[in-house]
Structure formats: structure tokens, C-alpha cells
A and B are shown apart, each in its own frame.
Chain A
Amino acid sequence: MKAAAPIALLLAACAYDPAPGITMSKAASRNLECNRISQAEAHQRYPGRVPDLPPRGSYSNIDALVCSTKISQPGDRPARDDVVLTSMRESVGEITRLANALVPRTAVWHVDTFYPEQLVAQKLSVAARTDLAERGHKVSDRVPVLAPGDIAVLARLEPKKAYPLACARYFKEKVLTDPDAFLGMMIMDARETDLHAGICVRGEWKWLK
């Protein structure tokens, strides 16, 4: 019985530690997003679980490791899709913030995403449209589409030439007209997990990031 007491104590201590150990696998530990915050902040966020700072201060510097489990399990989706979707709020937010600063309020936004996985591309487009609408812009659900002949030519060009040319064709072919603005988000290399973006206004293409 005496020998069991330290082991019980050990197991109890391990159960609360998010690091890999006796009760936590490496895979489960990697699926956590953890942040180290001060005791004061932890008490504000979780008043029932973290005690307040002692009124006369403390000899030791105590802080808290706050962890949340990611929605998807590791391996549920391809690595790049996982990174792009996990950081979608930040990446799309940054893009719409940049776009918002460059285009007048009267513009009607059209959004499209050039990403190999169609489902992920749709999610990104919807996120950008929602974000632009929340910023007070007019947003269209219509996706501008060029003629098959144009796409065949554009597909053979480098991104440097292809996107500006596509932008010019949108306006020349009246797919987009003057109050319209087009936001394109894309990746250009299989090794990227960070989105690029550009806007097309009055037939002129401008890279945002």
C-alpha cells in the first residue's frame, strides 16, 4: 500500500500535464494548441479553476499552460489543407484588410480562390466574401469566368503574366465592369501553405501579398 501511494500521486500529477507521458500520447499532445499565460490572466479567463493572485504577492512566479484541442485530428486532411484552413481566419483577414484599404467603398467585390482542392478553395472564397461584407462592402456571389479559349492561353503563362492578363480580359470581355473589383487568392507552389492575393480594378492587376 505504501509503495502504491507515490505511484498514485505520480499518475494524478501526469493526468493534468499536456506533455506526452503515461496518460497522454504524443499524437494527442501534438493535437493541442497551448499557450503559457500569467496567473492573473488565467484567473480572469478561468476564475473557477485558477485562483487569484495572493493579495500580498507570492514568492514564486506561477503561470498557467492553457491548452485547447484542435477540431480535426492529425492526418484527417492533407497537411497543406490543414495549415491553410487552420490559419484561414488570420490569412483571409489580412488579405481583406489590405484589399479594403485600396479599393473605394462603392466597389462591388467578386472573389475567387485558385487552390488545387476545390472544397478548400470554396471555403476560402466564402470566408473572404463574409469578411468583406462585414467590413461594409457590397459583395457579389458571382464568380467571373473567362471564355475557354482565354483560360487555355492563360494556363500556359507564368503567374507574372497570367494574372494581369486575366484581369485585363475580365474587363475587356465585360465579365466585370467599372464599379466591380475582383479579389483573387491563390498559392503558386506546391510547397506553400501561405496564400497570395491580388486585386483587379478597372482592368489593372495589383499584388497584395
Chain B
Amino acid sequence: MRAQTLLCGDVAPMARCIPTRLPLLLVLAFCATGCVTVYQPLVSLQRPAVINPDHNNFEGLKLLLKCLPTDYTDSGDSEILCQNLRTLFDNQGAQVELEVPDSDVPKPDEEAAKPDLIVELTSRQLHSENSALQWALCYASFTLIPAVTEATFAQDVILRDTDGFLLGQDSLQGRFVRYFGLGYWAINGLMDLIVRDKSEQLTGSAQKEEFSRDFYGQLSQLVFHARMKQLVLRNFDAPMPNSAEAVKAAAPKEDPNAPMVPLLPGFPFPPPTAPPLPKNPAKL
């Protein structure tokens, strides 16, 4: 308000103010486009993933991905999700087929060999918030007060073998919060510039990479667990997914002073630490 008074004067007609106000309005409009979107993993997504999706974890595994449309995701979204996941598991050595009802994705060949694992994915929206009052306050304060929109979602994953036996299930839940406004954007921009480490920065598109890393990591881990459980329950009728490169990547340097692991076999590897996650996972 003080800026307007100085520019326009108390008695100046509105029309005369416009040329002098224009740069200010342009600056405001430019800055107001600055949104800050943050991602918060809620359930299961923040669990550490030990598997490294960059490695050949599923060599020769026949995987059928079923991305089922729901009220929250239409067949187009489901198709995009499935295509991204195909890339994820292709890169890890699996032979992936897709099934997306009501989409252009061709149905899997029924005469082809049956899949080893079937992964069913459905999405749900648990909560969404977009208050008109907040938007009104946001614009009334020249976007100093941010308008906050948020969405909480759940990605339900069910893993079965080819006979329909349940091998695992989980619900990966997360939350995206978007703050629209000059105030919030400016404060975070400054904090990113001056205070925060790169891994803690909020402006930019870091949230996409973080979500992709969490989601792909957890999904790879779930499929790996299901595969191992399947092998154990079938009394190891197929070779173990024993990629020496992947095992090596998942294991730390051996500590010569570490106590010997007691007894039975089954440990052809030293104690683990988390492997580095891929730097540029495919974006969802």
C-alpha cells in the first residue's frame, strides 16, 4: 500500500495510476507464478530401500503389470504409470507385459508363457484440499499469504503368482502440498540460496525426483520380496536372482574385525548397507 501511495499520490485518479503501477504489477505477476511444491512420504514410501533399481535384479523374470483405472486415475494415467514401470523393470532385466483395461495398450498374448509374477496397481485419493477462502486471502494480500492446495494419495500394490496366490501387498502413501504465492516462494528461495543444503532445497522440481526415487525403490523392493517368497514357497524350483554385480553393489566393504555370523549357510554376502540410489530415475 505504501508503494502505491508513493507512486500514485493520494488524490490521483485510478486511471493515472496504471502506467506507474504497471511495472509493480508485472513484477508481482511474475513472482506470483512461483509455486513451491513439496512432497511428504506418509506410509511405506519413506522406508529405506536396499535394492538398487539400477542393477540387474530380475534377470529373466516374466512380469505382468496390471494398472487398473479407478475414480482417481483414468485409463490414460494408468497407461502412463504402466509404461514408466515397464521401463523400470525392463532396466532390471525383467520381461514385462502390460495390462491396462480400456486403453490402447494391447492385451498380453494369452498363448505366450504365463508370467512368473503379477503386479496389480490401483490408485486412491485419500484427501484433497483447495480452499476458495485461502485463494481469496492470497490475492487480497498480493500473494504474501500463500494459497495451499494439497493431495494425499495411496498407491495400492498387490503381488500374486501366476495361480493367483498372494505373495505380498502394500499401500504406498504420500502427500503433495503446493504453496502458491510470492511470500512463501521468496522466503524459500532465499533459504535455498543461503541456508539449505542442496538435498534440503524446496524450490525447483526436486519433489518429482524424490517421489520417483521412493516409489520406484519401494516397488522394486516389493517385487524382489515377492520373487524371493515365491522361490522359497516353491522350494527353489527356479534359480535364485543372484546377480553377483547387484549383490556386490548392495553390500559394504567387509570389516575384518566384524564378528563372524553364527552358523547356517545362506549368507554368501557381507553385512549390508543401502546401495546408492539411481541419480536420474525415470520420472513419473
Footprint of B on A, CB under 8 Å? 2-3, 6-7, 9-10, 13, 17-22, 25-27, 29-36, 63, 65, 78-80, 82-83, 86, 112, 114-118, 121, 145-146, 151, 154-160, 162-163, 166, 184, 186-194, 196, 207, 209
B38 with A157: CB separation less than 8 A: no
The answer to whether B47 touches A83, judged by C-beta atoms less than 8 angstroms apart, is yes
Given A79-B272, A186-B266, A191-B52, list of 19 further CB < 8 A pairs?
A6-B141, A9-B145, A10-B144, A10-B145, A21-B202, A22-B184, A83-B47, A86-B47, A114-B261, A114-B266, A116-B269, A121-B261, A145-B263, A158-B236, A163-B266, A190-B251, A190-B269, A192-B224, A192-B228
Whether B41 sits at the interface, judged by CB under 8 Å, is yes
Q: How far is the CB of B178 from chain A (nearest CB, A)?
A: 10
- For this complex, 10 residue pairs linking A to B, each with C-beta atoms less than 8 Å apart, are A6-B144, A19-B40, A36-B152, A80-B274, A114-B261, A189-B228, A190-B272, A191-B250, A192-B228, A193-B221
CB within 8 Å of A: which residues of B? Answer: 1, 38-43, 46-52, 57, 126-127, 141, 144-146, 148, 150, 152, 173, 175, 177, 179, 183-184, 187-188, 191, 199-200, 202, 210, 221, 224-225, 228-229, 232-233, 235-236, 240-242, 246-247, 250-252, 259, 261-267, 269-274
User: Is the pair B242, A189 in contact by a Cβ cutoff of 8 Å?
Assistant: yes
Kindly list chain B residues whose C-beta atoms are within 8 Å of the C-beta of A145.
263
Pairwise interchain contact B38-A21, C-beta atoms closer than 8 A: yes
Count of inter-chain pairs, beta carbons less than 8 A: 182
Asked if A19 and B177 sit within 8 Å, CB to CB, the answer is: yes
- The smallest beta-carbon distance between B232 and chain A, in angstroms, is 5
Chain A: which residue is nearest B179 at the CB level? A21
Which 4 A/B pairs are nearest by Cβ-Cβ distance?
A79-B274, A79-B48, A160-B236, A116-B271
